[in-house]
Structure 1
Amino acid sequence: MRKMTKKNKVLAAAGALALVAGGGGAAYAYWTTTGDGSGSAANSNGGGTVALTAQFSQGLTPGNSVPVEYYAENETASGTRVFSVSPTVSITLAAGVTGTCDTTWFTPTAPVVAGGVAVAAGATALVSTGDLTFADSATVDQSACKGATVTLTLESDK
């Protein structure tokens, strides 16, 4: 049997490599295909609620205002966005007090936040700040408002 020269070994290796590469190319072409399909799943319906709270100082007097901070607690499993808070005033007179403490004397503001405020799932965020103003009447006795509890009932669009 004849010995292979270095040149013949290189040529044999190159030929083997060409066969493997050519065979691999044929296998690739054999397995190439096309396809189509789809997938779907229903999104969350956004169920759950956003709990709103208002925080402001006590001791409001006629002719003055106090700052109000409006918060939203997201009790849902996904993030949400709150755009505005709408406060409505109610009054509970102090025990033993008679007379009128008119809700129209109290004006809450809650500016709409452009673009809304994102509230992550399970988180609480400051949504807006405003004021609660107690109007001073020069013609009506407002003494029934002494010690009264002012409550802001809140609604939002979410």
Structure 2
Amino acid sequence: MRKMTKKNKVLAAAGALALVAGGGGAAYAYWTTTGSGLGSATNSVGEGTVTLHATFDGGLAPGDVRTVAYTADNADLNTSTKVGVLTATVTTDKAGCLAAWFPVTADTSNTTVAKKSTGTSVGSGTLTFTDLSGTDQSACKGAVVKITVGSV
């Protein structure tokens, strides 16, 4: 066996270091990577929409306040639907009976309406026939007051 010179020792150490560094580099390259991918699925399209209703007791006179019950029907056979924020507006069927005299509120319950269900409570509110002293509100006698309710 030959004796290693200082030069050969340095070369051997440099070679060993290069092998270790190369091996470490290979391991690093093996464990890191980049890439991309895609996943998808088709959601239910639903078979219908929710029908909203507003009900309250009739016989309004100036100064009266009525509780309004908001309900929903869901005819969809496959999917439940969540009713979000309710909106309500009033109309009347007589000229001179102003809708502005009937402020209405709709307090939202953010309720899920099950598939194939009817009459699910989705909120409540109030309807007021504002009494305006000094204003003749006779045009509202016998008028039909309607609440149109929506959800956003």
Same fold (TM over 0.5): yes
Which amino acid is 1:80 matched to? T
CA distance in structure 1 between the partners assigned to 2:56 and 2:112 by the alignment: 22
Shift of 1:41: 4.5
Which amino acid is 1:148 matched to? A
Q: Which runs of 5+ in 1 are unaligned?
A: 1-38, 94-98
Partner of 1:86: 87
Partner of 2:146: 151
Secondary structure of 2:132's match?
coil
Conserved? CA contact 1:84–1:127, under 8 Å:
no
Conserved? CA contact 2:108–2:124, under 8 Å:
no
Q: Runs of 4+ in structure 1 displaced over 6 angstroms?
A: none
CA distance in structure 2 between the partners assigned to 1:40 and 1:85 by the alignment: 32
Q: Do structure 1's residue 134 and structure 2's residue 129 form an aligned pair?
A: yes
CA distance in structure 1 between the partners assigned to 2:40 and 2:121 by the alignment: 36
Matches for 1:67-106 after TM superposition, within 5 Å = 67-76=67-76, 77-93=78-94, 100-106=96-102
Partner of 1:118: 112
Superposition CA RMSD, Å: 1.9
Secondary structure of 1:107's match?
coil
Q: Deviations 1:62-108 (Å, cap 9, x if unpaired)?
A: 11101110001112231011122211111012xxxxx5111100011
Secondary structure of 2:103's match?
strand
Give the structure-1-normalised TM-score: 0.66
Conserved? CA contact 1:106–1:134, under 8 Å:
yes
Q: Which runs of 5+ in 2 are unaligned?
A: 1-38
Sequence identity percentage: 44
Give the structure-2-normalised TM-score: 0.68
